[in-house]
Amino acid sequence: MELTAEQKEMLEGKHGKAVKKAMEILTALGEIYGAKKLIPVNSVQIAGVSYDNLGEAGLEFLSTMAEDGKVKVLTTLNPAGMDMENWEALGISKEFAENQGRVIDAFKKMGIIATCTCTPYFIGNLVRFGEHIAWAESSAVCFSNSVLGAKTNREGGPSALAAALTGFTPEYGYHLEENRQAKIAIDVKTEIKGTMNFGALGKVIGEKIGNKIAYIKGIKEASVEELKSFSASIATYGGTALYHIEGITPNKTDIPEESIEVTEEEIKKAIESMNTGEDADFVSIGCPHASIREIALVAKLLEGKKVTKEVWITTARPIKKIADQMGYTRTIEDSGVKFACDTCCVVAPIKGRFKVLCTDSAKGCFYGSGKNDFKTKIASIEGCIEEALK
């Protein structure tokens, strides 16, 4: 791989130990994937923030990098294992809270914005069409590539951190136009509405095409929230980091000849397959993290009512601040629902605390059962609130 004089200096250690290590990670990745050069990035999203996933080994790596590492570009963080302010009310142990705090301190020391969210595009890490970025978090990667038209691979925690500390990423994969073309057309034969149904569509398509890039026809309308849910689901069930929806997403693509259909029956079956439990004892809305529009809807549905079970709204802290200003928080908390900022029902250490999770998120169902052993129930946001009030 060809390096510029500045990049060579970074690799030789002339810009400090953390930058040297970061450059070693990037050049090794570049060699593996056949990149010809490193290209500048202007935005980074780092995943692997929960102490639950990192453990002491991960924390030690971060602490070493934080000794002299400082980020060169706007960098945000994925959800952590707990609400950084309100962890006690959510049943998180003091020991876990201390360890999670050490992780966040290491990130902060490097100049990373420690608002922990999987929807960085809602809190100021907004990227533009055609821009090269280095993001981790499969749902955000899929959203930024497909809906915003930025260009990123599915980075891991260390490679995203390395891009943040150097301002570069190897040019391969989704950074190259030839790898962003659709390979299969999907004809959706039924009307899809709401985050639950878009999540189910993502599951059906993801399971059919794996990590191929789809050109999807037959969708007339899709809100940002529906696309957020779809991006999370197609990336979870299939593994792709990019899709095209005719008339909705902005990237140019060749239109493939091979075409398959998605029927109403398949959507129904996908929903049935995520309904593995009945009476939920835990309801969680906000996977990916809830938008202010979703929170406004929840507040409207809960006005003057009381929930009967544990209910979380997971969102970014700056979005909750808007909810505070608008009075949504008071309505929601008066009903007995808890905000869980900075975290979610998957990355929080809550395995064994609940039996059945009710959510509007197909991704939430996948990891709720896979990681936390919950039975799951999928419903629209309105349906989740009904379940919470039962």
Applying CB under 6 A, the residues found at the interface with ligand F3S are 78-79, 118, 139, 232, 287-289, 314, 344, 346-347, 363-364, 367
Q: Considering the complex, what minimum distance in angstroms separates the CB of residue 351 from ligand F3S?
A: 14
Q: Considering the complex, what minimum distance in angstroms separates the CB of residue 117 from ligand F3S?
A: 8
Across the strands, what pairs with 385? none
The owner of tokens 């409207």 is: 300
Q: How many residues does the chain have?
A: 390
Among 209, 19, 53, residue whose Cα is nearest residue 136: 53
Torsion, Cα 310 315 320 323, to 10 degrees, reads: -80
The owner of tokens 């390395």 is: 162
Q: Considering the complex, what minimum distance in angstroms separates the CB of residue 343 from ligand F3S?
A: 8
- The Cα angle at residue 327 between residues 322 and 332, in degrees rounded to 5: 100
**Percent composition of the chain: helix, strand, coil (DSSP 3-state, to 5):** 45, 15, 35
Q: Which is nearer to ligand F3S, 23 or 47 (CB)?
A: 47
Q: Which is nearer to ligand F3S, 99 or 314 (CB)?
A: 314
The beta strands (E) that lie in 201-286 are given as: 214-217, 243-245, 259-262, 282-285
Q: Which is nearer to ligand F3S, 53 or 179 (CB)?
A: 53
Q: Which is nearer to ligand F3S, 346 or 385 (CB)?
A: 346
Q: Which is nearer to ligand F3S, 203 or 289 (CB)?
A: 289
Q: Considering the complex, what minimum distance in angstroms separates the CB of residue 329 from ligand F3S?
A: 19
Q: Which is nearer to ligand F3S, 19 or 133 (CB)?
A: 133
The owner of tokens 């130990």 is: 17
Cis omega before residue 288 (within 30°)? yes
Burial class (CB in 10 A: 0-12, 13-18, 19+), 200: buried
Q: Which is nearer to ligand F3S, 230 or 367 (CB)?
A: 367
Q: Considering the complex, what minimum distance in angstroms separates the CB of residue 288 from ligand F3S?
A: 4
d(CA 385, CA 285) in angstroms, rounded, equals: 9
Burial class (CB in 10 A: 0-12, 13-18, 19+), 57: exposed
Q: Considering the complex, what minimum distance in angstroms separates the CB of residue 239 from ligand F3S?
A: 15
Among 305, 39, 2, 304, residue whose Cα is nearest residue 153: 39
Q: Considering the complex, what minimum distance in angstroms separates the CB of residue 246 from ligand F3S?
A: 25
